[in-house]
């Protein structure tokens, strides 16, 4: 197969597209093949093409919570960034929304309706699809509490509807991580009863808290490690004396130690090595292995 671009009936698949600008870390190599479909028909057509070519398929949302290797990704990368259609039902207070919708925007739209249930989501820099897959949460709320069902793409191109029970939600995880399938749409059940002013005020409070406690001056992926409750990863890293520690262009944030920043020209390998270094130091001090929350895609150096 020569690399240039492939024209299907409803879309164009490009080759060797840089993924760095599509992740919040601003690192990562190229996609072998790439498409950002404008609608479900184009998504299904490109998915079918990749399967015919027997290529691996990676779905990419906002690129937060993600570290893509410097070598890039083989196969087809499908970006959901244009898939943002939604329907709000004023009778049932349900929102049907496509996977590429940014979660903060959805939280504000719900708040303006006076519908509660998504106030916690306003500071999460991801899309609906990614949030469903990892059961995103903050401020004591999470996806599992307000999701009614998710529509996922099957290997044969058909769409299956999964309930919250079938999604088997746990802390920051769902069955979709163990059996990867692409979320293309989600249905949220929200609550009425408060005024729009009240819901907007709560939403704003959550956003203000996030902005005041987390660093947003340099590219990052959000929280790097899962919290080994009852302690937090940030506290353990801070107590280990690693705030501000830098490796190449990657730095442990001064403002919140569970953030790694691209402090200028970091490579994915710099960030990967810093993640491993933090794990080692915390384990030496606390006999506890921190588990990354950030998803790593592609080839990384072997740690010996």
CA distance 157 to 44: 6
CA angle 80, 142, 294 (to 5 degrees): 55
d(CA 75, CA 58): 8
Catalytic residue from among 172, 174, 210, 220 = 172
> 137-146 long-range contacts, Cβ below 8 Å, gap at least 24?
137/171, 137/172, 138/206, 138/210, 139/206, 139/209, 141/117, 142/169, 143/169, 144/169, 145/117, 146/117, 146/118, 146/188, 146/189, 146/190
Is 223 one of the annotated active-site residues of the chain?
yes
84 is catalytic: no
Give the burial class of 82: count Cβ atoms within 10 A of its Cβ; 0-12 exposed, 13-18 middle, 19 or more buried.
middle
Catalytic residue among 46, 69, 79, 223: 223
172 is annotated as an active-site residue: yes
- Angle of CA points 271, 251, 65, to nearest 5°: 50
Report the C-alpha dihedral over residues 16, 19, 22, 24, rounded to 10 degrees: -170
Which residues are marked as active site?
A: 172, 223, 293
């Amino acid at each position: 197969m020569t690399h240039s671009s492939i024209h299907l009936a409803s879309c164009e698949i490009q080759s060797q597209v840089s993924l760095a600008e599509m992740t919040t870390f601003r690192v990562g190599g190229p996609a072998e093949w790439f498409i950002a479909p404008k609608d479900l028909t184009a998504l299904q057509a490109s998915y079918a093409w990749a399967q015919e070519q027997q290529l691996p398929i990676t779905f990419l949302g906002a690129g937060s919570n993600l570290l893509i290797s410097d070598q890039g990704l083989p196969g087809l990368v499908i970006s959901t960034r244009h898939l943002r259609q939604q329907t709000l039902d004023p009778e049932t207070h349900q929102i049907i929304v496509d996977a590429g919708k940014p979660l903060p925007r959805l939280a504000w739209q719900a708040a303006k309706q006076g519908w509660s249930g998504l106030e916690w989501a306003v500071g999460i820099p991801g899309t609906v699809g990614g949030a469903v897959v990892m059961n995103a949460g903050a401020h004591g709320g999470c996806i599992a509490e307000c999701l009614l069902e998710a529509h996922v793409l099957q290997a044969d191109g058909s769409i299956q509807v999964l309930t919250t029970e079938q999604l088997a939600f746990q802390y920051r995880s769902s069955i979709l991580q163990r059996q990867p399938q692409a979320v293309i749409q989600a249905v949220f059940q929200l609550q009425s009863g408060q005024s729009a002013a009240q819901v907007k005020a709560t939403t704003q409070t959550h956003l203000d808290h996030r902005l005041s406690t987390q660093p947003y001056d340099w590219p990052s992926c959000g929280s790097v490690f899962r919290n080994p409750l009852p302690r937090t990863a940030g506290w353990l890293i801070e107590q280990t004396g690693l705030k501000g520690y830098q490796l190449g262009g990657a730095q442990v944030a001064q403002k919140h130690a569970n953030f790694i920043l691209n402090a200028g020209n970091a490579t994915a390998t710099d960030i990967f090595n810093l993640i491993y270094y933090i794990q080692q130091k915390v384990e030496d001090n606390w006999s506890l292995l921190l588990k990354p929350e950030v998803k790593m895609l592609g080839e990384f150096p072997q740690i010996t």
